[in-house]
Homo-oligomer: A and B are copies of this chain.
Amino acid sequence: MVAVDTVLFAIKDDRLKTYLVELRGGPARGKWAFPGGLVRAGEMLDDAARRELRASTGLGDAYLEQLFTFGDPSRDPRAHVVSVAYMALISDPAAVGRPSEKYVGGEWFEVNELPPLAYDHAQMAAYALKRLKSKLEYTNIAYALLPKEFTFAEFEELYALILGRPLDRRNFRRRVMAMGLLRLLPHTRRGPHRPAALYSFAQQSLKFIQML
């Protein structure tokens, strides 16, 4: 049997959070898990991931990327279920609604403070976070977590938050600008202090940065 499970990330309350659902039944009843379920006969894997994400969050659209397939025979005590894990990213966590009746409920958790997870979902969480961190370094994937327009300070905070390590501000700015990720917008954001320059991503789909 083949299943899909999706690790959904968003920035919420200035923290990187992931969305978990509480299982109503099965051997891991009462535990938290990433939203997922079995792939239907004749269904594409991506379609199954989108269907399950919609059922558990109401989201009709999200950045979606296949992560890794977990196939340890002992991962589910009922049967040998191979799970294709996905990562989903959204910029607006408020768009997530209540999950379907399949789950007791759903909640956002800070990535470093997850509750005990069902099956091998702790491994999935670790893998997803690792993938997000490395893609942040060599692609424009941050576009899927940020609003259309943002200040450079907001952009930098996102990186510091996810990478979880202090950044050398001057080097960071120089390297990001050299990568050509961002576009300076003609308008600024007014605030209590001087107006802040606004940026957007040059491309709103995944792009690998050429390093060599």
Chain B residues with Cβ under 8 A from A159's Cβ?
A: 212
Complex Cα gap A67–B71 (Å): 14
Oligomer copy total: 2
Interface string of A27-62 (1 = CB under 8 A from B): 000000000000101111100000000000000000
Output the nearest chain B residue to A137 by Cβ-Cβ distance: B211
How many chain A residues have a CB neighbour from B under 8 Å?
Answer: 32
Those of A112-157 within 8 Å (CB) of chain B = 134, 136-138
Interface centre among A42, A44, A212 (most CB of B within 10 A): A212
Measured CB to CB, the residues of A under 8 A from B are 2, 39, 41-45, 66, 68-69, 71-73, 80, 82, 84, 134, 136-138, 159, 163, 167, 171-172, 175-176, 208-212
